[in-house]
Amino acid sequence: MAHAASSEPPSAETFPFGQPIVWQPDPAWVAASNLRRLMDRHGIDDYAELQARAVADIAWFWDAVMEELGIEFYRAYTQVVDLSEGVEFPRWCVGGEMNIVHNCLDKWQATPVRNRAALRWEGEEGQTVTLTYADLHREVGRCAHALRSLGLGPGDAVGLYMPMLPELAIALLAVVKIGGIILPLFSGYGHSAVVARLADAGAKAVITADGLLRRGQPVAMKPVVDQAASEVASLAHVVVVRRAGLDDVAWTPGRDHWWHELVAGQPAQAETARTSAEDVLMVIYTSGTTGRPKGAVHTHCGFPIKAAQDMRHAMDLKPEDTLYWMTDMGWMMGPWEVFGTLLNGATMVFYDGGPDYPDVDRVWSLVERHHITHLGVSPTLIRALKRFGAEPVQRHDLGSLRMVCSTGSPWDPESWLWLFETVLARRKPILNYSGGTEISGGILAGSLFAPLKPCAFAGPVLGMDADVVDDAGQSVRGAVGELVIRQPWIGMTRGFWQDRQRYLNSYWNRIPGLWVHGDFAAVDEDGLWYILGRSDDTIKVAGKRLGPAEVEAILNCHPAVTESAAIGVPHPIKDQEVVAFCVLKPEYEAGDALRAELLDLVARELGKPLRPRTVRFVDALPKTRNAKVMHRVLRAAYLDQALGDLSSLEDPGTLEAIRRAL
């Protein structure tokens, strides 16, 4: 969606400026880092010099990244990047031929990496599976043969509508191995969302499960696919993994195939299709507030390279490390985890289940059990877990953690500090990470090279020419502006599937020549960066623009509040007023006295003109699967308007919680 120009960005009078530095880089960690080795290899003295060179010469930088990652091509590219069609439509690795699965799996088979764990999986019920690189290579080969036996091949789109199972990673890589196009779908989608995505991409097959387990109860998935299949003319095959053990699974002979029958007997060795570096690898959909979903197009030399580079440089992921990101494959962090860890020769963890089941310590038990070094969470999850205090954390040995990474939504200082102090003992960093599906990873990230303040980013990910600007595209510091990117990067989406103009409208037409991401950001007096929420969620009160995150950070600091969301609603004189929604901790009761206290707190911190109209108490907030609060849904519900596209809503039950509050 194009973002309307604004005369004034939101204020930043209380947050983020003036926060203290709470963590300093460890010289030993810096000396042993992947970044230090990269600088030494290229004769570069410090990080600032490296970043300056990376954005001054993008062809040099991405060529160096691919060399460092050991990316192998069947035919070498003749040009790193071709900008002849403009910065909006770069072509990368021109003339090169490669299949990213060769680099994820095939090339490791003649090395000791083949015996390293590639994937550790744990189910909600406690079952575990470990697949080495050799195991995964064999299973992907079998699945590739199975897909080819169905007549699938290069250019064919295959939907992945599954819980986080080992078979999901296998299927994803097998589709790529045969030269197909993967369509990751959120496992909680209803049939209309599945139909829209499968039909838009012309999917020929979908791989699903009979169901998933949530809090010990089976939730059927196959009926959703059955209903969708009747509406998607291109869909010829449905492959079903038995996960939930459901009886009486409806079956269409000739179309439906059990995974265990189709895949198990296939040969373990399969040819990897020889593809162009810029052949389409994946179409991954982002939800739109209106209209059909946006299908971000990614290629073999794009998304996976950026994912692996972010892990290697921003997060210092090493081959001996284990990364677990709490995600679904329908969120870009799912494919990001698979491609990034495998290209780095590291280990990934999948968990299929609730993060607080059967007890609230499940996340911390996963860290201990699987020796996780890099834990990826959302601020929303931490706000939910911190209400249980330190005791669930202290039950477990978290010594394996090198850092916690976070993405999904803005932090509030109190929750950030709870994680930093309770989980990381103030000794290890929280590396914030923010970007998007169209980015293939991060625009901004933390760094082992930079100090930390609560909620802050160190700055742009290496190679990302990011800036904070005013409406004219001029850099601003010490004030809030739009987050933009000035030059292309290898992971940049190649556009939206069959919708060139929508892509241009979404990112390029606001400020010519700049990618406008749609986030408000700020850079403080110490050069640290902050994300302050979506610029299209901005609230305008009597000419003053306010980011929801500013209000939410204040409310979340109150001892009664677990999490909150702020929206703008119409006012006949002031243009808009703030309305806030708060989820309370169990030991607090909603009431007029607490409401008045929260209203006074916001007025005291932001000024009386920004005092909210009201605070409504709710049991839960509407969120996407990647834990972003859906402010537009709150606004529509409050104003009794049509709710719009709800395909990315994780829990439809939250709508009833809002209706009760209203």
The helix/strand count (H/E) of the chain reads as 21, 29
168: tokens are: 């999901």
pLDDT value at residue 626: 61
Handedness of CA 191, 193, 194, 200 (dihedral sign): positive
pLDDT of residue 5: 35
Structure tokens at 415: 């929750």
Phi, psi for residue 526 in degrees, rounded to 5: -100, 10
Which superfamily is assigned to 538-661 in CATH?
Answer: ANL, C-terminal domain (3.30.300.30)
Helix axis angle, 47-56 to 58-69, nearest 10°: 110
Mean predicted confidence (pLDDT) in 450-475: 96
DSSP class of residue 630 equals -
Which of 156, 250, 255, 243 lies closest to 208 in space, CA to CA? 243
- Confidence at residue 3, expressed as pLDDT on a 0 to 100 scale: 35
CA dist., res. 77 & res. 607, Å (int)? 58
70-315 and 538-661, same CATH topology? no
- What is the sign of the dihedral through the CA atoms of 343, 345, 351 and 355? negative
Give the pLDDT mean for 378-400: 93
Look at residues 431, 258, 200, 441 and name the one whose alpha carbon lies nearest to residue 341: 441
Q: Which helix (H) or strand (E) holds 520?
A: strand 515-523
Question: 9 pLDDT band (50/70/90 cuts)?
Answer: very low
Cβ atoms of 262 and 168 within 8 Å: the answer is no
Going along 64-174, which residue ranges are E strands?
Answer: 79-82, 91-94, 117-123, 128-132, 157-161
Burial of 265 (0-12, 13-18, 19+ CB in 10 A): exposed
651 pLDDT more than 80: no
pTM of the model: 0.86
CA 559 to chain centre: 29
392 upstream amide cis, omega within 30 of 0: no
The pLDDT score that the predictor gives to residue 37 is: 97
pLDDT tens digit string along 142-190?
999 999 999 999 999 999 999 999 999 999 999 999 999 999 998 888 8
User: pLDDT, tens digit, for every residue of 618-633?
Assistant: 998 988 766 778 888 8
User: Nearest to residue 48, comparing CAs of 57, 40, 39?
Assistant: 39
- If pLDDT is split at 50, 70 and 90, which confidence band does 241 have? very high
Beta bridge partners of 569: 577
Mean pLDDT over each residue of the chain, to the nearest integer:
92
* Residue 12 pLDDT exceeds 60: no
Antiparallel, parallel or unpaired: β 211-214 and 205-209: unpaired
Buried/exposed code over 492-528 (b: 16+ C-beta within 10 A; e: otherwise): bbbbbbebeebbbebbbebbeebbbbbbbbbbbeeeb
Residue with tokens 């697949």, as numbered in its chain: 131
Beta-bridged to residue 282, according to DSSP, are 182, 298
The percent of residues in the chain predicted with pLDDT above 90, rounded, is: 76
The answer to whether residue 296 scores a pLDDT higher than 80 is yes
Highest-confidence segment of 105-119, 382-396, 547-561: 105-119
pLDDT at position 2 is 33
Q: With 80 as the cut, is the pLDDT of residue 419 above it?
A: yes
Beta strands in 185-326 (DSSP E): 205-209, 211-214, 217-220, 237-241, 256-258, 280-286, 294-299, 322-325
What are the residues facing 537 on neighbouring strands? none
pLDDT value of residue 64:
98
How many Å apart are CA 122 and CA 129, to the nearest integer? 7
Pair of tokens at residue 4: 């309307």
Query: Token match 């169209």: residue?
Result: 438
Instruction: State the DSSP string of 36-100.
Output: HHHHHHTT--SHHHHHHHHHH-HHHHHHHHHHHHT---SB--SEEEE-TT-TTS-EEEET-B--H
The tens digit of pLDDT for each residue in 420-457 reads 999 999 999 999 999 999 999 999 999 999 999 999 99
Instruction: Assign domain 70-315 to its CATH architecture.
Output: 3-Layer(aba) Sandwich (3.40)
Q: Is the pLDDT of residue 608 over 70?
A: yes
The DSSP bridge partners found for residue 239 are: 207, 257
Q: Lowest mean pLDDT: which of 127-136, 403-412, 432-441, 445-454?
A: 403-412
Domains of the chain by residue range? 70-315, 538-661
